[in-house]
A and B are shown apart, each in its own frame.
Chain A
Amino acid sequence: MSAREEILANIRRSLGVTGAEAPRRMAVDDRLAQARSGIIPQRGQGDQAARVATFKDEAERAQASVVEVETAADAPGEIARFLRDSNLPATLRMGDDPRLAAMPWSATALDTAHGASDGHDLNAVSAAFAAIAESGTLALVSGPDNPTTLNFLPDNHFVVVAASDIVGDYESVWRKLRGGYGKGAMPRTVNFITGPSRSADIEQTLLLGAHGPRRLHIVIVKGA
């Protein structure tokens, strides 16, 4: 008997079932197929303007900084400004996401690089799949154009998100993922990010920048 069979047999013995009961199978299949929502907090709900306002408040509570710009073309200038004001080098790594590729980076003094990080980059920018008003959380997905290393290795992480992609709750992100990848399938990595990296492991003192980014700067693009 394999360990798998032994464990399943032990579970069934403890539960007093055989695994062949049709009603149990139906209940499980139905739950997996329907994926019904449970309780969704009111906090993140409302029209787009309300969601953007709540997202901003919640992200700032989690020590992220948030700025709104009018169009996608304004994002590179905002990132260049942040780096300048923070006395940080004007370097920036990014993936090949078409939303970022369409932005006028050459109009700034930023020295851009492309692809995954090897741990030697100070700054990186990502494009968000969605953002969640409820808790000020960004949702980033991996793929050929979106390296996951950019979300964790650089000291300063910039994330550009369209106001129209700011949803109320996690459940809306799952629906959007199912729309894009199919029911039951997922991107390899989905990163929910709420504020910059932190630790309180030494005397419960909250410190930012434990292993991941020390700063998280979110640029909301109001127009499409």
Chain B
Amino acid sequence: MTETPTSSHFKENAHAALHDAPLQKALQHVRVNFIDKRAKAVARLPEFEALRDSARDIKDHTLANLDLYIEAYEARVVAAGGHVHYAMTAKDGVDIVLKLCHERGAKAVTKGKSMIAEEMGLNAALEAAGIDPIETDLGEYIIQLRGEAPSHIIAPAVHLNKEQVEADFRRVHRDLPSDRDLSQPVQLLTEARGILRDKFLSADIGVTGANFLIAETGTSIIVTNEGNGDLTQILPKVHIVLASLEKIVPTLEDASQLLRVLARSATGQDMSVYTTLSTGPRRPGDPDGPEEYHVILIDNGRSSMLGGDFEDMLRCIRCGACMNHCPIYHAVGGHAYGSVYPGPMGAVLTPSLIGVEEGGQLPNASTFCGRCEAVCPVRIPLPNMMRHWREREFERHLSPKAMRYGIGFWAFFAKRPTLYRLSTNVAMRALHWLGRAKGRFASLPFAGGWTRYRDLPAPQGATFQSQWRAKSGSVH
């Protein structure tokens, strides 16, 4: 991990995020833009729902035969003159990258945006080895200057306002005139473009992620809007592709189905600007392109997720639609999750990657409104899987004592209907009598979490069950 995960402090993180004024201002863009753009793109494509089914089925088929597709993919990469490396853990993956860098005497490494590289903590490892990692995606570049982790899987700097970016550029780009105007986003973009152009041209090695790996042809696909991923992989002598196992799809036709749902779900574009298919290194007579092409296939927990409760999570194509539509993400942003992957997909994936002891709070960061599942392009049942994690957290006695005793107390009555009816009848009548003056409570024992922010309405006196019985009786 780039930083030590703070997922176990989700409650504290969320509390701080809710009181962070610049963050709340920045999050307004997520609430409006992403949802609106996706809805418009989906409305323009009558086949969208059928494509979601198709995308889900392709992923399920591939996962069920993943061993065989990995073998087929590897054979094709090798036939095209590339190399495939295997890493059981994130650390093994880092070691392979470092070895490739050291053998080639690399000093500077440009990087396209890659979530698996975040999972591996690659930047910190490169720095520790005396190698300069340069993030080239504009959002990633900004957060690298700030020493932060991405707060969103496709919009890493979505938690920032332009004034914050301006301050960072002035702090770091010391060689430029101090009286230059950086008040508009376009000026910030132009400055970053100029600075990164030189870095692209002088890097020794380029590292990218992969959106898909094609077993049929041994091809890696990256999808970007800026073109930074392409400059990262065509200019240096060596291109290293980092990909987790589940990125493999069988054929080019299968990739087309997934591409049709990916950009629409992510940014509301029909296609991202650059979809690039790379197969092996530079060919004889080619005027440009990398001389070496390496793929590092990283497991880091994936193979153990197959065949279990969380296998469906391996269908994820990292579009970000679930977090774009999540009321919790809208309220607290991505950093509060304290892990590489935020939002609903992060709440499900993180406990798989770092353990339920560390990440067990995240599946509780849900209202179970179901919007994430409703928009997921590969139909991952995210709320159900969060429920699975909550059950495991409860079974392993990891949830807070007050909650455990509270649920135990409630369960005692719920399992005894007569006692339950009797006690709720008494309690409702008592509360009704106590609150008769104002019709609401400004404070109440055991309900401080509620009454701190709003009043609790006083019950009407009769329970729902007794009202229902009375009503049914009058009808029949």
Interface of A toward B, CB cutoff 8 Å: 2-4, 6-8, 10-12, 14-17, 19, 24-25, 27-28, 31-32, 35-43, 58, 61-62, 95, 115-116, 118-119, 134-137, 142-144, 147-149, 151-153, 169-171, 174, 177, 184-205, 207, 209-213
Contact A28 B65 (CB under 8 A): yes
Q: Which of A41, A137, A209 has the most chain B CB within a 10 Å cutoff?
A: A41
A189: which of B71, B189, B250, B289 is its contact (CB, 8 Å)? B289
B235: nearest residue on chain A (CB-CB)? A149
Contact B274 A10 (CB under 8 A): no
Cα of A134 to Cα of B186 in the assembled complex, Å: 30
Show 26 residue pairs from A and B whose CB-CB distance is below 8 angstroms, ordered by the A residue: A15-B67, A24-B68, A31-B61, A32-B215, A39-B47, A39-B50, A41-B260, A142-B289, A143-B285, A144-B285, A147-B288, A149-B234, A188-B80, A188-B279, A189-B234, A189-B276, A192-B276, A193-B273, A194-B271, A194-B273, A194-B275, A198-B273, A201-B142, A201-B156, A210-B226, A211-B200
Cα of A19 to Cα of B68 in the assembled complex, Å: 7
Contact A39 B226 (CB under 8 A): no
Chain A residues with Cβ below 8 Å from B282 are 188
Task: Using A7-B299, A28-B68, A202-B138 as known contacts, say yes or no to A43 and B45 having CB atoms under 8 A apart.
Answer: yes
Contact B65 A199 (CB under 8 A): no
Cα of A81 to Cα of B119 in the assembled complex, Å: 49
Chain B residues with Cβ below 8 Å from A12 are 67
Chain B residues with Cβ below 8 Å from A6 are 86, 88
Task: Using A3-B92, A151-B230, A188-B283 as known contacts, say yes or no to A201 and B274 having CB atoms under 8 A apart.
Answer: no
Cα of A12 to Cα of B287 in the assembled complex, Å: 43
B251: nearest residue on chain A (CB-CB)? A35
A196: nearest residue on chain B (CB-CB)? B273
B195 CB to nearest A CB, Å: 11
Report if B306 contacts A (CB, 8 A).
yes
Cα of A199 to Cα of B192 in the assembled complex, Å: 12
Contact B67 A170 (CB under 8 A): no
Chain A residues with Cβ below 8 Å from B86 are 2-4, 6-7
B226: nearest residue on chain A (CB-CB)? A210
A118: nearest residue on chain B (CB-CB)? B201
Report if B147 contacts A (CB, 8 A).
no
Q: Which of B71, B217, B227 has the most chain A CB within a 10 Å cutoff?
A: B227
B188: nearest residue on chain A (CB-CB)? A202
Cα of A182 to Cα of B194 in the assembled complex, Å: 41
Query: Which residues 54-76 of B sit at the A interface, judged by CB distance below 8 A?
Result: 54, 58, 61, 64-72, 76
B278 CB to nearest A CB, Å: 6
Contact B189 A210 (CB under 8 A): yes
Contact A144 B88 (CB under 8 A): no
Contact A212 B253 (CB under 8 A): no
Contact A16 B307 (CB under 8 A): yes
Q: Can you list the 3 inter-chain pairs with the closest CB atoms, starting with the nearest?
A: A212-B227, A210-B226, A144-B285
Chain B residues with Cβ below 8 Å from A28 are 65, 68-69, 72, 250
Contact A35 B252 (CB under 8 A): yes
Contact A188 B257 (CB under 8 A): no
Cα of A94 to Cα of B250 in the assembled complex, Å: 35
B230: which of A10, A43, A196, A212 is its contact (CB, 8 Å)? A212
Report if B104 contacts A (CB, 8 A).
no
Contact A204 B158 (CB under 8 A): yes
Cα of A39 to Cα of B304 in the assembled complex, Å: 32
Report if B211 contacts A (CB, 8 A).
no
Contact B46 A171 (CB under 8 A): no
A185: nearest residue on chain B (CB-CB)? B217
B214: nearest residue on chain A (CB-CB)? A186
Report B212-237 CB contacts with A as 1/0, cut-off 8 Å: 00011111000001111011001100
Task: Using A202-B157, A202-B188, A211-B136 as known contacts, say yes or no to A193 and B274 having CB atoms under 8 A apart.
Answer: yes
Contact B254 A11 (CB under 8 A): no
A192: nearest residue on chain B (CB-CB)? B275
Report B242-280 CB contacts with A as 1/0, cut-off 8 Å: 000100001111101101100000010111111111111
A75 CB to nearest B CB, Å: 22
Task: Using A201-B139, A211-B226 as known contacts, say yes or no to A144 and B231 having CB atoms under 8 A apart.
Answer: no
| Interface contacts beyond A11-B70, A24-B68, A186-B80: sample of 10 additional A-B pairs, CB < 8 Å, sorted by A | A6-B88, A14-B306, A61-B270, A143-B285, A188-B281, A188-B283, A194-B269, A204-B155, A212-B231, A212-B274
